[in-house]
A = this chain, B = another copy of it.
Amino acid sequence: MTKPYHVVGIGNAMVDILAHAEDAFLDAHGVQKGIMQLIDMERAVHLYGQIGPAQEISGGSAANTIAGIAHLGGRTAYVGKVKDDQLGAIFAHDLRAQGADYDTPMAPGDTAGETGRCIVLVTPDGERSMNTYLGVTEHLSPADIDDRQVAGAEWIYLEGYRFDGPESHEAFAKAIGAAKAAGGRVSLTLSDPFCVERHRDAFRRMIAADVDLLFANRAEILSMYETDDFHEALSRAAAEVDIVACTESEHGAHVLAEGQHWHVPAIPTQVVDATGAGDLFAGAFLWGLTHGRDLETCGRMGCVAASEVISHIGARAEADLGVLFRSHGLT
């Protein structure tokens, strides 16, 4: 029986505030380069007051992935919390306008905090340094997980960042239970090396018990298995889950499954803004996987989508990814 959704994603809902910054600015303002750091509202207001003119584009890691799958025509839904404020309306609009279902109840206007946002500082090398005020997205609770929706997914996609927050583990457990009970499968992205640092044990338990497909990048998987040996980390992951899809920036991506290891090339491009590279890799990979493509093709599609999103500001695809796939001989 066809399930209503190819993929349902769960993550931190937020709008990106993207601005260019020099490396010296990061140093002067204590921003760690290349990672996601959590900040409170006070710090967000202070940092925002220091950065240059910005532009606002919906973000959120799993939301970017879901938007990518929807962009490709996949049937998707997203679960993540915004507030009933202007940024919340922007987030909800952009996801629905892309064709994804998005039904998580908004936190009412009188809730403490605001819709989450990420101040993304893009340095001249195209690297992005993320400063995340979680706001109401931190409080996604099991009550926000609609069992029936999650059960309707061939795959659920869990965002590692979402391990931050008081009821996050319970919410994930509920989603995993509902998905698996209905024959669905579970994918997880490790999100960020420091996120792995904060939640390594919880990640490990989830990977061992429930995860079928693990997304990571090189730094994250090394942190996960506390090793400097990339191939050891890949092998250990491959021993735990059915499919490992691990990106390695300009060196492409590795897909490990069924005892095989495919190394697919990156698509050379001018890196304008690395924001969303991993998210769009995962989106294209999951689209391929749920549309009968072999795993190597899924990995190649992931690299094509990642190259598109890093060629411009913002973490949502601008060019037609389906057209790009065909231009790279991927059908």
Contacts and interface: CB of A to CB of B under 8 A. Distances in A.
Interface of A: 19, 48-49, 51-58, 67, 85-87, 90, 93-94, 97-98, 114-115, 314, 316
Given A54-B93, A54-B94, 16 more contacts: A48-B93, A49-B93, A51-B97, A52-B98, A53-B58, A53-B94, A53-B97, A53-B98, A54-B90, A55-B55, A55-B56, A55-B314, A56-B57, A56-B90, A86-B87, A86-B115
22 contacts: A19-B97, A48-B93, A49-B93, A51-B97, A53-B58, A53-B93, A53-B94, A53-B97, A53-B98, A53-B316, A54-B90, A54-B93, A55-B56, A55-B57, A56-B56, A56-B57, A56-B90, A85-B86, A86-B86, A86-B87, A86-B114, A86-B115
Contacts of A90: 54, 56
Contacts of A49: 93
Given A85-B86, A86-B87, A86-B114, A54 B314 contact: no
A87 B89 CA distance: 11
Contacts of A67: 53
A220 to B, nearest CB: 28
Nearest to A90: B56
A19 B94 CA distance: 10
Contacts of A114: 86
